[in-house]
Amino acid sequence: MHKVLIVDDDVDLTAMLCRYLRHESFDAHAVHSGETGVAEALTGQYSIVVMDIMMPGLPGTEALRRIRATSRIPVLMLTARGDNVDRIVGLDMGADDYVPKPCTPGELVARIRAILRRVEGRDLPSSPGPKVLQAGGLVLWPGTRRAGWQGQDLELTGTEFSLLEVLARHAGQLVSKQEISQQAFGKPLAPYDRRIDVHISSIRQKLGQRSDGQSWIQSVRGRGYQLLED
């Protein structure tokens, strides 16, 4: 089992990510300061470090510099700003990849697996399910987060991909919004949270309408959503 170190001062976020990573067969541990992150990363116990750039005290860039002084452990950098300067600085200092916040747990796991495959030169256990997921005219490649619809590339955001992947895995079945939130985001759906509805609306527009004028994603009020296969 690969051990993941998460270094981020956001306690709620790291707790959620640890739960999701454990569900995906990783051993995850979180610390909340750059100083502690450097010390943990250099113990040799971890396969990869996921580290926030913006932290009080010792920032992620300086923590990365200290790690790189003595270790080549893979490091995936996170930032809330999505600033290209942060990305360039992090990669120049030896980061293996960079993910802007907010990102979905599914996207983060896919990036972690991709880095570890490159480092180790072999495949890791994939998420439950096939490497290619197909439901009618929809084809998803979870490992690379790529999507196709009726023979054409389908451009999705990371969140849209995660939501559509959940529906595709249960194609033809009604999936509650609570289940969608747990499987796509790794956390329960908060009261009055409308993000799923907003993103589903965007996905519907990208898929277009069926020949009968109905949406490919059906909703049952108060219950959830269902992806139709034909």
Structure token pair of residue 100 = 């802007």
Residue 40 has pLDDT above 80, yes or no: yes
CATH classification of 133-227 is 1.10.10.10, yes or no? yes
**Average pLDDT of the chain, as a whole number:** 85
Residue 81 has pLDDT above 70, yes or no: no
* Helix spans in 121-192 (H): 158-169, 177-185
Short-list 14, 8, 163, CA closest to 78? 8
Summarised one tens digit per residue, pLDDT across range 88-126 is: 666 667 788 888 887 888 889 988 988 888 777 544 444
Residue 164 has pLDDT above 90, yes or no: yes
- Give the C-alpha separation, 226 to 174, whole Å: 5
Residue 56 has pLDDT above 70, yes or no: yes
* Helix spans in the chain (H): 11-23, 34-41, 60-68, 84-92, 105-120, 158-169, 177-185, 195-207
- Give the C-alpha separation, 130 to 143, whole Å: 10
Say if residues 227 and 138 touch (Cβ distance below 8 Å).
yes
Summarised one tens digit per residue, pLDDT across range 61-78 is: 899 999 988 888 999 998
Residue 130 has pLDDT above 80, yes or no: no
Can you say how many angstroms the Cα of residue 42 is from the centroid of all Cα atoms in its chain? Answer: 25
Residue 59 has pLDDT above 70, yes or no: yes
Residue 43 has pLDDT above 80, yes or no: yes
pLDDT at residue 111 in the model: 87
Of 81 and 209, more confident: 209
State the span(s) of the chain assigned CATH 3.40.50.2300.
3-120
Measured between alpha carbons, how far is residue 160 from residues 67, 99, 104 in Å?
A: 34, 16, 10
Of 140 and 230, more confident: 140
Rounded to 10 degrees, the C-alpha dihedral 183/80/90/60 comes to -100
Angle at the Cα of 85 (from 6 to 32), degrees rounded to 5? 20
| Partners of 171 in beta bridges | none
State the span(s) of the chain assigned CATH 1.10.10.10.
133-227
Summarised one tens digit per residue, pLDDT across range 182-229 is: 888 767 787 777 878 888 999 999 999 999 999 999 998 878 999 998
The superfamily in CATH containing domain 3-120 is Response regulator (3.40.50.2300)
Q: How many CA atoms lie within 13 A of 163 on its CB side?
A: 25
